[in-house]
Structure 1
């Protein structure tokens, strides 16, 4: 889970990340004592003050606790979710009850009086480069006052598409501006991709659990769903996928191989290569959702599956809504062999994206400020995920497990006992707290005791109280006490 960038990090933050990794991988077990300040300083060849600053970071993240006269000790770490047994892949369509629950969750997430602990959209301008974006936009309007008086015709901003192509190399993808189609966010990119490569009645393979809004999207296109077993740490079962491909049961696949929502995993490099080989060999399109790809905690970034796309069967979709400006809603897609067909479909659906917003974003990417902004976000989200997992370890029922995301700000929690997360959702609404129950993320009943949490909010008293209150209600419903401190 390291987010160290030697050019950006101070010595104490680098040391904090090194120690955090040691805690996450079990080198320092829960309850064990960290090395004394002087010993740690000597071992890492830094000053005692540097070690003390690193330990304070780990305290803030909920990973360690200071004991008077005794030193620093590792807190109880939340257990990881283990590999689930596989299930038989079968064809599904979302029930009306499932779609009604999605509508109810969206309504609660948009209620201004509710405290959100699960909406996957940062709710504070501190998470975005607002000031710099404002200056760029104001400068553009001064220099080109007629910018908003001209239609933005396809294929859209050359500057932005050129910057997208340049930056895609960080994910191993080689593109030109002509390979890129601008879209109205990632959801339109996914929709256009599905409309391009499928027909009504086709079967689409999805991870399980997966982003829940894919279900109403597929239903609106009259597409059927086959849920593919997905490991919470390693991702899509490629053996199960290959069997489905061999049996010709899939017409397309939608997957999030990097920082998956809601589990947070990133597939291993060898698995990404195998996935690319499978879809190219069987000539079944893979729609790769890369929404959180640039928010990976590791550096260099793990490549996208699109990086290994031999014959153009991978359609890569993403947007800047999670990293730069949600209200701009500017996304893009690299559709491979389907580029011309998809571009035509975009032209007759929403034509193109705003010239002003696209040029503003293009100038921001060109300025170099985006890289610094991403590094700041990665460090902040990694720290907040640790802090949230620490709260869960102390305040949720004993036996609660959670994924350890490899980027982004969402993760998956499984509650013990007979806790129904839909019932928990309704109980919390009475106290104006909104979470997302796990039942939304699958068409089966395998995730009824699970929920997704999000860490893209300021960790103020309101947020931490809501998280602790969720744990208290889960303890009450399960009859199982919390771990405590």
Structure 2
């Protein structure tokens, strides 16, 4: 069941990507199968090897394929009826289910599904290829200067809150950039406080790096528990605090101006760094208030984000901004040797400079707002009081809480049996929080199977009640 719809304009790598998806779905579904080599596909489809490599990297990131040194790429088994073992890691089960054929994937938060700049980027790339021939493009391990300068200008808000291009670092994707940051900061063995719920990608990266993560949950009324934060900073050797810039996702909570100032004072008082997640900073439905970064000491501030939430998978690059540690960050980016498309980076920079990015963003916000209201109506009708929630103020998902105690893992498993994927709330915690919650996407417009999926969810919630 495909809820994404077809795009009218494709990059070459997207055509390759779609071809590979169909090929993977046709091959044996019992054991891993070797896929065509880069050179074979390049010849078959009459595109460059780098285009094939980029499509494969997307498939690898999604968990559909894996690479073996000196052997090539292989497709994971995708048996449509194979059971997902209850004992396996929950996140692994979600990823596995989401890549199986015919699944309705309601687990994500992908705003760009409602709007794309594919055509604009393609046109800009064609112009730039003539101006910047591939063989004349020098390697720029931290990203091309044009894009770094555009981001620096966008994040500059005053003479004391200004950024320079050499304080911006662009990597292949958000995961790669965060991995570099963890190494550069030397976070292994340190204490980091993170807001909760928190994106599971970030949590798993910190956990894998040997960081001691202390979760700071928002209160039930949607307000930050400032007394608890102060207690943690006073009694724990906190090295860094990870918070959202404007809206905390997936919960959709926001701070008032007095709360932002209070947090800034606490961080300054205890000499803590702020690692600000700006992934959804541009995706508030209404004009947002000041970002948290505008209230903290800029010398102890690092901001990270990506383009993917706004521009979609054609712009997977992640980036960060930091005034300090320039030598170590440059060294780490050089060691990673990201193979980024310079032309695509320059095309994104042109979108910023021309104002087309902001025009697109305004349209996307409006569509997200409208879609959230439509989904809210569906939830009220189909789930009939089995969940409660606050209306989203940003992004492309709802943060739902069951009104009755349920076994949410059982709900997740029952939904998989009906070919529907949801994101259980416990994924957004390392300490077992949010086990009565789930994240549900709302970026599906008028799909005939959505109501069926929600009816199935209502039935699964009823069947999984524990009291």
TM range (shorter): 0.7 to 0.9
User: Which whole-Å CA distance do the structure 2 matches of 1:123 and 1:169 have between them?
Assistant: 25
1:68-87 Cα offsets, whole Å, 9 max, x none, are: xxxxxxxxxxxxxxxxxxxx
Matched, 1:121 2:102: no
1:407 matched to which residue of 2? Answer: 394
1:107 matched to which residue of 2? Answer: 96
1:132-182 Cα offsets, whole Å, 9 max, x none, are: 1111111212333x2366343244212111211222247995322222111
Deviates more, 1:397-406 or 1:213-222: 397-406
1:432 matched to which residue of 2? Answer: 419
Deviates more, 1:165-174 or 1:204-213: 165-174
Do the aligned residues in 2 keep the contact of 1:438 with 1:448 (CA within 8 Å)?
yes
TM-score by length of 1: 0.73
After TM superposition, the structure 1 = structure 2 runs for residues 81-480 of structure 1, keeping only pairs within 5 Å, are: 100-122=89-111, 124=113, 126-144=114-132, 146-147=133-134, 150-169=137-156, 174-231=162-219, 234-299=222-287, 301-351=288-338, 353-398=340-385, 400-478=387-465
The alignment's C-alpha RMSD in Å is 2.6
Report deviation, 1:459. 3.7
RCO (CA 8 Å, sep 6+): is it higher in 1 or 2? 1
User: Which whole-Å CA distance do the structure 2 matches of 1:210 and 1:326 have between them?
Assistant: 22
Structure 1 132/302 Cα, relative in aligned 2: closer, same or farther at 3 Å?
same
Structure 1 409/418 Cα, relative in aligned 2: closer, same or farther at 3 Å?
same
Report deviation, 1:285. 1.6
2:63 matched to which residue of 1? Answer: none
Q: Which runs of 5+ in 2 are unaligned?
A: 1-85
TM-score by length of 2: 0.75
User: Which whole-Å CA distance do the structure 2 matches of 1:167 and 1:232 have between them?
Assistant: 34
Structure 1 123/246 Cα, relative in aligned 2: closer, same or farther at 3 Å?
closer
Do the aligned residues in 2 keep the contact of 1:98 with 1:440 (CA within 8 Å)?
no
Aligned residues: 381
Deviates more, 1:342-351 or 1:407-416: 342-351
Report deviation, 1:236. 3.9
Q: Which runs of 5+ in 1 are unaligned?
A: 1-96, 481-485
User: Which whole-Å CA distance do the structure 2 matches of 1:98 and 1:194 have between them?
Assistant: 30
